[in-house]
Structure formats: structure tokens, C-alpha cells
Structure 1
Amino acid sequence: MKSALYGGILALQFLTRLPLPIACPWTPATRRWAVRAYPLVGLLLGGMLALAAQLMHGAPAPLAALALLSLWVALSGGLHLDGMMDLADALGSNQPMARRWEIMKDPQVGSFGMLALFFLLAWKGVMLWALLHYGAPLWWLVAIPALARFGGAALLVLTPCAQQKGMAWSWQQSLVPRDVALALVPLGVMSIGWPGVLAALVAACLLVALARWVLLRLFHGINGDMVGATIEGGELWLMILMWSWWWFAMASPPGT
């Protein structure tokens, strides 16, 4: 029980910037429970975003969308955005694999990373605006961060690391496929009350499978930056799908 508690705290410390000044033991058991808790952390973040959206009900959609996007970035501390920028710089360089790895390790952000950051935040902001404007139910805002973090956990557990060093590799030594199955439990419970979560989960799994194939092909494995990039990409992918579903299935007038 202690390992599960410490694992949950470890996941919160690693995935968010919520102030939790608690020293957690770094053991195989706590690492396993931390990865299992990834979706729970996403649910917490999503719940805070949904609460903020509810409090801003009636505010102009552009202002509410910008406020929610700012809160979203602040809660995660931009951790996954950094990984996404590093990966974009490496992919945009069009260099051999060894050079791509060097670019990913460079602490400076290049032009491809800045472009990726700009377009990712722009698209997320516009999707938030559209979903709020058309009155989509707020369960999507709770579910998306959880589903994206499940995708990151699945990629970490099921894809070999390219190098035997780094944070991702040290975590991976303690993980087994069973941890992915346990991470699914809170999402399965959510799908009982919100059937749309199940369809979104399938979409998230498809994205993870595609990301795994691409990263193995281009890098022969993953690292922590790629897990973070998958979380960011997963959030945007699910927001686009949610807006598409709401627009075409729900927002169209009856009989059209």
C-alpha cells in the first residue's frame, strides 16, 4: 500500500508542477505504481481544467480558451512541450540517425522546435475555443489528459529504449506489460458513465501504435522526450477527434 501511495505522489511530482514537497523512495515498486497512476494524474489535471471551464461559463469563448490553455501549460510546467520541441528539431533536421540523437540532446531549441511549439499551442487553443463555443460536454476535458498520459505510459512500457541510459531507460527496467493493463482501470471505469471515452481510448491506442512504429523506424527506440511528445501529440489528436465528433454527430441540426 505504501508503494502505491508513493507511486501516485511520484507520478504527480513527475507529470505536474503541483507543490508536493514529499521525498518518495525511488524503487522498482514505486516506479511501477507511478506509471500505473499516469491516467489518474491526467484525470486530476482534466478535472481542474473542467472546473476552471465551469467557473468561466458565460465568458467569451476566446478568452476562456486562452485561460484554459495557459492553465493547462502551467499545471504540467511545459515538461512535455520540451520533449516535443527536441523531437521536432531532430526530425526537421533531416540528418542521419546519429546526428538526430545529438540534436535531441542539445539544450538549445532550434527553429523546427519553435515552429512545432507555436503550431501545437495554436491548434490546442483553437480546439478549446471551438469546443467551448459549440457547447461540447465537459467530460472531454476531463478525459483527454488522462487518455494522453495513458498513451505515454503505454509507449514507455511497450517500446524499447534506444540507449541504455537516461530517465526513460531507468524507469523501463521496472516495468512490464501488466502495468499498462492496470493503468487502463480508471479509464475503463470512466467509459461506463461516458461511452465516448471508449472510442477515444481506441483512438489513443492507434496513435501510440503509429508513434511506436515511426520512432522504432527512425530512432530504433525511444527516450523520455519521445514519451512527452506522444503525450502532447495525443492531447491534440484527441481534441481534434472530439471536435469532429461533436460537430458532425451532435452540433448539426436534426434532419441534416
Structure 2
Amino acid sequence: MMNAAFGLLLACQFLTRLPVPVACPWTPVTRRWALRSYPLVGLAIGVLLAAFAALLSGVLPTPLLALVLLSLWVALSGGLHLDGVMDVADALGSNAPLARRWEIMKDPQVGSFAILALVFLLAWKGMLVWALLNAGASLGVLVAVPALARFGAVALLCLAPCARREGLAWTWRQDLERRDLLLALVPLAVLFALLPGWPLLLGALLAFLLVYGGGMTRAFTGINGDIVGAAIEGGELWLLLIAWSWWSFVTA
């Protein structure tokens, strides 16, 4: 049980900026438990977002509430995954040969494609949160989206090839087995029981991972940490779009 607890704390330390004042052992066992805990950390982020939405609903105008929720969303992750989006955008936007794309991805300088990707990603997420609030969607959507997106990261690490035998993604991958992917689904069982339309969201996530994973494998011969981080952001955006479509056109 201690390894499971340390794994959860490692996942919190890695995926969020929530204070975790505990020195956790970095071992294959704790890393495996950390990967299993990714969706649980996403649930925690989602619960905080839903709680703020419930507390501030009717207090703030809907556009301002959407902006507050988006700001909180970014703050909780510390912008970690946004950095991956920007690196991937610069590398893909360069249209350079493979070796040069890898150099661009590792370059700490920010290019124009990175700025464009960041601006449009945040704009779309903010507008979709606003649209979901206007549509009267269940706050369970705000809980589901971060959790499912982080499950998607585990699925990508488990099923997609790593581009290089180095880096954080490769380190995580060494400790990951197929059964860990099933165990990562366990925290989502409560979510599935409470949120109508969850099969649609899960199916949409799997479709996104299939297209995204295939595209990244063709562009970079595999995945790395930046690509996994960008998958979390892209998955959240895609799931928000699917949820808004469901609430606006199916349940209306």
C-alpha cells in the first residue's frame, strides 16, 4: 500500500502544482503506481474545477466564470502540458527534416508556431467551457475531461512506440504493462456511473488517440514527453468539443 500511496503522490508532483511536501522514492514500482494514478489525478483536477464552477455560478458572469476556470485549469498543471504543445507545434510547423524537427523540439526558444498554437488552444478551450456553461451541461463534464485526457496519456505511453531510448517518456514506458492500462481505468468507474454519455466521451478519446498517435508516429517515428503532454491538452480540447456537441444537439 505504501508503494501505491507514493505512486499517487509522484503523479501529483509530476502532473500538478498541488503542494506535496513528501520525498517519494523513484523506483520502478512507484513509477508504475504513478502511471496507474494519472486518471485519479485528473479526477482531482476536475473536482476542483467543478467545485469552483458551482461556487461561482450566479456570482460571476458566464464569460468571466469560464475565464476563471480556464486560468485555474492552467494553474493546477503549471502549464506543463502547454509547453509540450508549443514544442510540438514549432517542430511540426517547421516542415524540416526529421533530425531538424527533433532539434527544434528541444530548443528552449519559442517560435511563432508555438505562440499560435498556445493562443488558439486556450481560446478554443475557454470558448468551449463558456458554451458548456451556457448550455447548462452537467459539471460532471469538468470532472470527466481532465481524468479521461490523463488516461489517454497512459494509453499513449503503453501502446505507441517511443521515438528514442531516452527521456522521460522512455523512462515511464519501461515500467508500464498492458494490465496497468486496465488498472488506470478503475478510478474512472465512479465517473462512468454518474455521467450520462460517458461511452461517447471514451469512444471519442480512443478515436483521438488513434489519429494523434498515428500522426505523431509518422512525423517523429514515435512519441516523447512533449508529445504525450500535447496529447493531454489536445485530448481535453477534443473532449470539450464532443461534450458541447452532445449537450447542445443531442440532449437539448
TM-score by length of 2: 0.98
**What is the identity, as a one-letter code, of the residue corresponding to 2:7?**
G
Structure 1 residue 134: Cα displacement = 1.8
1:80 aligns with 2:81: yes
**What is the identity, as a one-letter code, of the residue corresponding to 2:35?**
V
Q: Partners of 2:199 and 2:190 in 1: how far apart?
A: 10
Structure 1 residue 193: Cα displacement = 2.3
**What is the identity, as a one-letter code, of the residue corresponding to 1:31?**
R
Structure 1 residue 195: Cα displacement = 3.3
**What is the identity, as a one-letter code, of the residue corresponding to 2:81?**
H
Q: Partners of 2:194 and 2:54 in 1: how far apart?
A: 19
Structure 1 residue 120: Cα displacement = 0.2
Q: In structure 1, what is the equivalent of residue 41 of structure 2? A: 41
Structure 1 residue 225: Cα displacement = 0.2
Farther-moved stretch of structure 1 (220-229 vs 192-201): 192-201
Q: In structure 2, what is the equivalent of residue 93 of structure 1? A: 94
Q: In structure 2, what is the equivalent of residue 175 of structure 1? A: 176
Q: In structure 2, what is the equivalent of residue 201 of structure 1? A: 202
Contact 1:38 1:153 in 2 (8 A): yes
Q: In structure 2, what is the equivalent of residue 135 of structure 1? A: 136
Q: Partners of 1:193 and 1:74 in 2: how far apart?
A: 27
- Cα deviation, 1:90-130, whole Å, max 9, x if unaligned, reads 00000111110000000011000000000000000100111
Structure 1 residue 194: Cα displacement = 1.9
Give the unaligned 5+ runs of structure 1: 252-256
Identity %: 64
Q: Partners of 1:104 and 1:194 in 2: how far apart?
A: 38
Structure 1 residue 198: Cα displacement = 2.2
Q: Partners of 2:196 and 2:136 in 1: how far apart?
A: 18
Q: In structure 2, what is the equivalent of residue 112 of structure 1? A: 113
Q: Partners of 1:225 and 1:110 in 2: how far apart?
A: 15
Structure 1 residue 170: Cα displacement = 1.1
**What is the identity, as a one-letter code, of the residue corresponding to 1:109?**
V
Give the number of aligned pairs: 251
Q: Partners of 1:171 and 1:87 in 2: how far apart?
A: 20
Structure 1 residue 189: Cα displacement = 3.2
Q: In structure 2, what is the equivalent of residue 166 of structure 1? A: 167
Farther-moved stretch of structure 1 (54-63 vs 74-83): 54-63
Q: In structure 2, what is the equivalent of residue 18 of structure 1? A: 18
**What is the identity, as a one-letter code, of the residue corresponding to 1:43?**
L
Could you list the runs of 4 or more consecutive aligned residues of structure 1 that deviate by over 4 angstroms after TM superposition? none
Q: Partners of 2:245 and 2:221 in 1: how far apart?
A: 34
Q: In structure 2, what is the equivalent of residue 245 of structure 1? A: 246
Q: In structure 2, what is the equivalent of residue 186 of structure 1? A: 187
- The SS at the match of 2:21 is coil
**What is the identity, as a one-letter code, of the residue corresponding to 1:26?**
W
Give the unaligned 5+ runs of structure 2: none
RMSD value, Cα: 0.9
Q: Partners of 2:22 and 2:226 in 1: how far apart?
A: 25
TM-score by length of 1: 0.96
Farther-moved stretch of structure 1 (145-154 vs 198-207): 198-207
